[in-house]
Structure 1
Amino acid sequence: MFFMDRRDAGRQLADRLGHLKGAEVVVLGLPRGGVPVAAEVADALGAPLDVCLVRKLGVPFQPELGMGAIGENRVRVNNDDVVRAAHVTADEMGEVEARERLVLESRARLYRGVRAPIGLEGRTALVVDDGVATGSTARAACQIARARGAARIVLAVPVAPHDWTARLGGDADEFVCVHTPRTFRAIGQFYVDFSQTGDDEVVACLDEAIARPPSTRRTGPRHAVPGDREVDVRAGTTVLRGQLTVPAGAAGIVVFAHGSGSSRHSPRNRFVAAGLNRAGLGVLLFDLLTEDEEANQANVFDTGLLARRLADATVWLRGQSEADGRAVGYFGASTGAAAAL
């Protein structure tokens, strides 16, 4: 295992990309798993973050065989060799593109809302994914970025096969990778946590990047917020991992009661928590369930169990020096909202 999760992978990857700091760079994350990685890279470089939306154009009678790809702004790149070998007509190509274009536009609305894509003309496009296996998606993304006017393409990933640059040829001007093992079966084998990235996490990453003023983007190592510490929350005989952040002068502490499998690592939870910290409130982010307990879906929807854990966590919190004399409130989401009530 090389990485704890995609955020950890992004931080390690960012350490290899310091030479791009201060350049005209746009960081493009490949949805969905590449976006949390790209968010860490964009934060480290102080660069804008966007998604690189790509849809493969599959041969009509053999969809897994790519005959091209499409991106936003009506960009299309063709694999002429495949088109000729498969005898794909212009009408067939048009039908496939129209179908995939609808999916691409739907994803764009989901991820960005009404925001337009960040322009790439004359800039360096830093294409980031959570890893490269076959390289087909990464190649398409680089080609799309080039077609959108990027002056330079840098493809950066945490992990890839040892011969990955040979596979990708001239699709990028620069390749950056943290680990290139010779034994490579799947990207997920190099992560402790390679759970699926949801659409809400992609949206949260993009929203957080936009909300962060340029002056607050870090240009060096990440520093903890004052009053921030990892904690072990006692709930009866169970120990729950958490993070307690109480800025100086905080008026109170908000305990997060997330649910439905969410965790203290959720980018959306962290985004809201950061906003509360800026408003002068402390935050306790903790996992209501252990990893073993989360494996049983019945626990995830057991409101009584979650409520008892929340009550125990409140008792624990009131015993901490940071909570002395401070009010305690709750922020509930999904099944956690029921537990909070």
Structure 2
Amino acid sequence: MAHLFIDRAEAGALLAERLLGLHDPVVLALPRGGVAVALPVARRLGGVLDVLVTRKIGYPDSPELGVGAIAEGGEPVFDEQLMARLGLTTADLEEVVERERRELARRVRVYRGSRALPDVAGRDVVVVDDGLATGVTARAALRALAAAEPDRLTLAAPVGAARTVRMLRGEADEVVVLATPPDFRAVGQWYEYFDQLGDAEVLSLLRAR
């Protein structure tokens, strides 16, 4: 199987070329991996770079299985079809949601300190991730931002599952994805180098903007 991208930096540089024409955008990365993609995007577009912190809401019996997500400034968003298959209600997840709210707040403090999220009202806003698998995290981010009334809201990622990309088109003014491979299984399979980023690396990338 051929990789589409060497690493996130290359993917971000390619993605930026598809986003030209936006005026002084706010580029909001979904940490952690999205920050490495968003840095070359913000540089190429001459926009503000920051993070929009999100947290996955995991299935209590198997926390790695995401049944929803929450983004700072927004309410939880759930995968309703998956919830129905698992026989879950939102009430079943109250404890998990509260735990993830606390972790989200902690990460906001780590990445931004006391600095507020950039004001997006009336601005062109680009949400950047390193790939779109289930899309639930991106959907939570887009809904949180839509409530802040940006002028134009764009979701951008180098690669994504075709079904997910179709689903997300109704959540943004534009969805820009470079590739939707038919054999998509995981985001990392399309990168030659796909190391996990730590908080220190995220902060270093944000300082490099």
TM-score normalised by L of structure 2 = 0.84
Match of 1:121 in 2: 121
Q: Give the conservation status (yes or no) of the 8 Å contact 2:121–2:150.
A: yes
Match of 2:48? Answer: 48
When the two structures are aligned, how many residues end up with a matched partner?
203
| 95 and 156 in structure 1: CA distance in 2 versus 1, 3 angstrom threshold | same
Taking the TM superposition and a 5 Å limit, the aligned residue runs for 1:143-292 are: 143-209=143-209
Q: Which residue number in structure 2 is paired with residue 104 of structure 1?
A: 104
Shift of 1:81: 4.9
1:76 corresponds in structure 2 to: 75
Q: Secondary structure at the match of 2:141?
A: helix
Residues 19-72 of structure 1: CA deviation (Å, up to 9, x unaligned): 21xx24210111111101001100000000111111234465675353x53332
For 1:38 and 1:111, the matched residues in 2 are separated by: 15
**C-alpha distance in 2 between matches for 1:147 and 1:48:** 20
1:16 Cα shift?
A: 0.8
Q: Residues of 1 paired with 2:192 and 2:90: CA distance?
A: 43
Structure 1, residues 61-110: CA drift from partner, whole Å, max 9, x if none? 675353x533324x214449578963444xx6654333212101111111
Amino acid at match of 1:123: R
Q: Aligned match of 2:10 in 5, 8, 11?
A: 8
Task: Evaluate the alpha carbon distance shift between residue 190 and residue 102 of structure 1 in structure 2; reply closer, same or farther with a 3 A threshold.
Answer: same
Cα distance in 1 between the residues matched to 2:28 and 2:19: 14
Conserved? CA contact 1:14–1:40, under 8 Å:
yes
- Are residues 162 and 107 of structure 1, via their aligned partners in 2, closer, same or farther at CA, if it must alter by over 3 Å? same
Query: Residues 87, 37 of structure 1: CA spacing in aligned structure 2 closer, same or farther, 3 A cutoff?
Result: closer
Structure showing greater radius of gyration is: 1
Q: CA deviation at 1:10?
A: 0.6
Residues 10/98 of structure 1: CA separation in 2 closer, same or farther (3 Å cut): same
What's the TM-score once normalised by structure 1's chain length? Answer: 0.54
- Paired residue for 2:137? 137
> How far is 1:156 from its partner?
0.7
In structure 2, C-alpha distance between the alignment counterparts of 1:163 and 1:55, rounded to whole Å: 22
How far apart, CA to CA, are the structure 1 residues paired with 2:164 and 2:95? 33
Change (3 A) 1:79 1:185: closer
Q: Quickly say closer, same or farther: Cα 1:197–1:88, change in 2 above 3 A.
A: closer
The CA distance in 1 between the partners of 2:55 and 2:151, in whole Å, is 22
More relative contact order, 1 or 2 (CA 8 Å, 6+ apart): 2
1:65/1:201 Cα in 2 relative to 1: closer, same or farther (>3 Å)?
A: closer
**CA RMSD, 1 decimal:** 2.5
Quote the Cα distance in structure 2 between the aligned partners of 1:44 and 1:124.
15
Listed as ranges, the gaps of 5+ residues in structure 2 are none
Change (3 A) 1:102 1:49: same
Kept in 1: contact 2:69–2:137 (CA 8 A): no
Which structure 1 segments of 5+ residues have no match? 210-341
Distance between the aligned counterparts of 2:26 and 2:138, measured in 1?
16
